[in-house]
Every structure is written in C-alpha cells, then in structure tokens.
Amino acid sequence: MVMEYEQLVRQAGGGDVKAFVELTRRFQQFAFGSALMVRDFQNAEDVVQEAFVAAWSGLPSLADPAAFPGWLRGIVRHHAFRVLRRKQLSAVPLADAEAVPDEEPLPDHILDARRQAAAALAAISELPDRLRGPATLFFVHECSHQDVATFLGLSVVTVNNRLHAARSHLKQRILTMVTDTLHAHALPNDFANRIGRLIETRGDVVDALFDPAALPDLMTELTVSDEARKNGLKVHVMQRPGGGVVRGLAASALPLLPKGATVLSSRRRPQGAIDPMQLDRLVPLLAAATSDERQTDEVVETGIKVIDVMCPIRAGGSVAIAGEYGTGNTVVMEEIVRRISRSVYPVTMFVLIPPPSEVWPPSLDENYSFADALKAEGYSEGTVGAVQTFFLRGVDGPWTAETLASLAAVDTIVHLSRDMILCKTYPASTCGRHARD
C-alpha cells in the first residue's frame, strides 16, 4: 500500500501530536532499517528514538512535505554516524560472527540468539552499499516495494532489481536466517504509542500525558523535545497519578518549554542515585503540592510499632523509605499506604529503589517492568487517598550514615537494613529521623 503521508506531515508540522504519532507509526520500521547501519539492534532503536525527537523539533522548518522520507532518512543517518564515531564499531566478517566474544556467561538460548543476530547483521553489512538499504528495509518488516522506493527516493523498478540482486548475494540458508532474525528484532508495534505530550513543568518536575493504555513504566526514562535548542531533555518517571498523566523528574535544569512539546518514552532505566541537591528542591515542591500547606505537628499512626516509635510520620509531612534489595521497600510502602490512605492529613512518600543488581536478578532483565512487578504482588503504585508516592533511584548497596544524611530534606526516614533481617526484626528498620524533633 502506497504511503499517504504528506497531510500528516503538514499537521504534525503545525504541532498536531496525534498526527506525529501516526507519522511515527508509518515510518518507524523504515527508520529502524536505516539505523541498523550501526550493526546493533539496541543501538539502532536508540538512534530511531533520537531521530524522531529531532524530527519533531525540525518539522516546522520542512518546506516540502513530500520531502519527508528523505529528510527523515538523513536525520537517522546523522544520529547513526554519531553512534559509530562514538563507539568506533567495526564490521564482523560473516565467517567470524559466531566467534564474537560475550562480556559475561549467558544461558545457551540467549547466547545462540546473540550469535544469530550478529551473523544476520554481518551478512547484511557485507552486501554492496546500493543493495544494503533496500534489503534491510524489506527484510525488517516486509515493507512493500513501493514504500521502500518512497523512503529511499528510488523507482520501484530499481528497488525490485536491487532486492533480486541482494537475494542472489545471500545464499538461501543465510537469507532465511537474516529474514527471521530481522523480523524478530524489529521495533515493537507499540513504539509509536511511546509518544506523549508535555502538560506543564514546575521546577524540576515534568507532567506529561500519554495514552492510558500505553503508559511509560515507573523508574524509566523519558525524553522531552526542546525544539528551540534542538535538544532532548532526560526525565525520570517517578509517579503515574492516573488519567494518562506521568510525572517525572528532570535530570538537569529545565529551560522554558511550551505545552504540547513531544515526550518520548525510551523504556530505558536510569542508573544513578538522585542528587541530594535536587532532592532538596524536589521535596518541598512536591510536599507543598500534596499537602496543600495543611501541615501539623500531629503524627499519623500506621499501627506498625517500629515505625510509629522510631520514625513517626508527621501529618502533612514527608517520609522516605530507603533500603537495599530484599529488605522490603515496596512491602513497607504498601503497608503504610493501606494503613494511612484514609487519613485526614496527606503524606508525601519517597521510595528509594536500588539500581538493577545481581542481588535481585529480575531487575537485570531488559524487559522487566517495575509497575508490573507491583501489580503482580497485588500492590498499588503508592498514590492512594491521602498518600502521594514517588519512586526515585536510590544508592547501590547498603545505606550508610553519609548517604542517609543526603535525605535531610525529608521529614522522616525509614531505613531498611539486611542486618536487622538477620536479627529477625521486621520491618527491618534500624533508624528513623523526624526533622522537627
């Protein structure tokens, strides 16, 4: 089916996010096929992500909508060349593909999949330049010859001839392997649904709106398009309050951004712990918004004795849960939420989650979803009734006196420790602090 895209380009250039989502859906596999020049599926997906951010920023300046395919292809190639220069990747001869070393021992099925992927990319890379583009686009998603021609700016006859020549270069066994592998690694069908729009910014806090059926995961990264500066700003997802709204924390100071700016969900998980200075700014901003200034010296009793005695939670105040993997961070969060969500006074809670670690292997799975894991346990996402919960990246390993001191902006700290678990104390809380004591 011949693409009908020019009207979408005009609408998207005028700021229509829905039109841009549809444009992304139509061209995402073509962009991905072009990005495979980096010879790595994950890097290619990152290139496509960056390319569509840049495309959204540049669309208003595109004078001829009919030029969109070639224009987008140029943006993809630009970002792909940046990756190649940065990593200085080298092509792997097809004969040597199975000997590519892995950085760590892997299960046999994962190792076989990686070897097959390397072999497929190597086979494609050995095709002559003029054949590589049409072959990759066709094999990735069985794009029609007409659509391949449109994207590459070639005639259908030329595409037909080059695809025939590409098949001749690839022996039948290799052709089948390449086709199957590229199909298996194509962009997910929901890639276009990762696009949202900016609602507002408050300090370092960013509110974006997504399709409620395709929300970005908690503890993942968003990219906000800064059209004026031709840049993409990174945002960490810390809350999903409902109605398709996603609340995030900007990784750096935010410039003035227009409402409606494009926000892309990368599904990538940020690694570093939150900066103490940023937390100092964040806590009063979110606590004030949550409490509506209704603060008091009263204590909200949870019924969890060790918390009520050692680290009481102030009505209208803030509390942080800081612990290692295996100490029950989300268990304690859920218990607190269930016990105080009907309180008259609101409470702002920050749950500090450790970065992915071998201590808890599921966290290392690239397909792991933090929100799905909460749901599987029957837990909420912590924002219920009087309680507003925000998930932030904590430290790697045990919390020390120094790292706990970095949470000084929070009224109360619930510190969960493995040492206390060994003493059969639950919750495994070793200390707490009430900032107003």
- In percent, the amount of the chain with pLDDT more than 70 equals 81
For the chain, what is the mean pLDDT? Answer: 82
pLDDT in tens, 291-328: 555 556 788 999 988 888 888 998 989 999 999 888 88
Residues 6+ apart with CB under 8 A from 273: 352, 355, 393, 394, 395, 396
| Coarse DSSP helix, strand, coil percentages of the chain, rounded to the nearest 5 percent | 50, 15, 35
Q: CA-based Rg of the chain, rounded to a whole angstrom? A: 25
What are the pLDDT digits (tens) for 248-278?
999 888 888 888 888 989 888 887 888 888 9
pLDDT value at position 437?
39
**CA-wise closest residue to 310 among 413, 432, 182, 174:** 432
Compute the distance between CA of residue 233 and CA of residue 230 in angstroms, rounded to an integer: 10
**The amino acid at 124:** I
With a cut of 70, say whether residue 430 has pLDDT above it: no
Q: How many whole angstroms from its chain centre is CA 102?
A: 25
CA distance 108 to 105: 9
Q: 365-400: per-residue pLDDT in tens?
A: 888 999 999 999 999 999 999 999 999 999 998 898
What was the pLDDT predicted at 353? 94
In angstroms, the CA 58 to CA 61 distance is 6
Burial of 339 (0-12, 13-18, 19+ CB in 10 A): middle
**pLDDT reading at 168 higher than 70:** yes
Structure tokens at 279: 């937390």
212 contacts 198 by C-beta, under 8 angstroms = no
Whether the upstream peptide bond of residue 427 has omega within 30° of 0, thus cis, is yes
Sheet holding 412-416, edge to edge: 387-393, 347-353, 318-323, 412-416, 429-431
Note the pTM of the prediction, 2 decimals.
0.74
Give residue 117's pLDDT band: very low, low, confident or very high (50, 70, 90). Answer: low
CB 260 within 8 A of CB 198: yes
